[in-house]
Chains A and B, each alone.
Chain A
Amino acid sequence: EAGVAQSPRYKIIEKRQSVAFWCNPISGHATLYWYQQILGQGPKLLIQFQNNGVVDDSQLPKDRFSAERLKGVDSTLKIQPAKLEDSAVYLCASSFTGLREGQFFGPGTRLTVL
């Protein structure tokens, strides 16, 4: 079974630039999550999708972050404009409906903002 795919794996940009990350969840997983993981900390949920609808985006800095999952499969996370404090690993995860079945993480995208 293929895992959660993310791209790019690494990205370096200057502050005030824009960046986008892509995630392809495990086939059949209705729920998709984007997390931000700052070095030395646990992941922080940014947004959760159920199919193509947003379930929770309470911790998403909406003035600069946006995410979409138009067809209920792939998802993109965008930062515009980026700040130095956005330097982190951005993890995508997916699960079947609900969380009892477990959540599977992608390899993450390491973003460095200079």
Chain B
Amino acid sequence: KNQVEQSPQSLIILEGKNCTLQCNYTVSPFSNLRWYKQDTGRGPVSLTIMTFSENTKSNGRYTATLDADTKQSSLHITASQLSDSASYICVVNAGNTGKLIFGQGTTLQVKP
């Protein structure tokens, strides 16, 4: 069964600290993996997209990694800011079907 699981479910960190969010998937065949940021009351916004051959991709203070062998991805946030408070959703594209499999999201709260 195609599944995407994220951990932790929620996370609280202090402003300026780093954090790492995890995404494990069992989607096959794999096409690509995206990380989205969803602010409260808004739709998700894409942060990064990675294909099978890409191990890491950065977008400012956000760095995503992908290990296609272990089917794991992580999103690392450096020097967190209050505006990073949001839900972060991992989404895997199941290649042939074109279906997107969504994780349940990790809710991050950055406190001053």
Interface check A79, CB cutoff 8 A: no
Q: Contact between A105 and B45 (Cβ–Cβ < 8 Å)?
A: yes
Q: Contact between A106 and B43 (Cβ–Cβ < 8 Å)?
A: yes
Interface check B1, CB cutoff 8 A: no
Q: Contact between A4 and B43 (Cβ–Cβ < 8 Å)?
A: yes
Q: How far is the CA of A40 from the CA of B54 in the complex (A)?
A: 30
Interface check A27, CB cutoff 8 A: no
Taking CB atoms, residues of chain B closer than 8 Å to A56 are 99
Selected contact of A41 from candidates B32, B36, B105, CB within 8 Å: B105
- Place the interface of chain A in its size category: 20 to 34
- A-B contacts counted at CB < 8 A amount to 49
Residues 11-25 of chain B, each 1 if its beta carbon lies under 8 Å from chain A, else 0:
000000000000000
Residues 77-98 of chain B, each 1 if its beta carbon lies under 8 Å from chain A, else 0:
0000000000001010100001
Interface check B100, CB cutoff 8 A: yes
Taking CB atoms, residues of chain A closer than 8 Å to B46 are 102-104
Q: How far is the CA of A4 from the CA of B89 in the complex (A)?
A: 19
Q: How far is the CA of A100 from the CA of B31 in the complex (A)?
A: 9
**Residues 86-109 (chain A) with a chain B CB within 8 angstroms:** 91, 93, 98-100, 102-108
Q: How far is the CA of A91 from the CA of B43 in the complex (A)?
A: 7
- Given A56-B99, A102-B49, does the pair A41, B104 have CB atoms closer than 8 Å? yes
- Given A4-B43, A91-B43, A102-B46, does the pair A45, B100 have CB atoms closer than 8 Å? yes
Q: Which residues of B come within 8 Å of A, CB atoms? A: 4, 31-32, 34, 36, 41-46, 49, 89, 91, 93, 98-100, 102-105, 107
**The 7 residue pairs across chains A and B that have the minimum distance between CB atoms:** A105-B43, A42-B102, A42-B104, A105-B44, A106-B43, A108-B43, A107-B43
Q: Which residues of A come within 8 Å of B, CB atoms? A: 4, 40-45, 56, 91, 93, 98-100, 102-108, 110
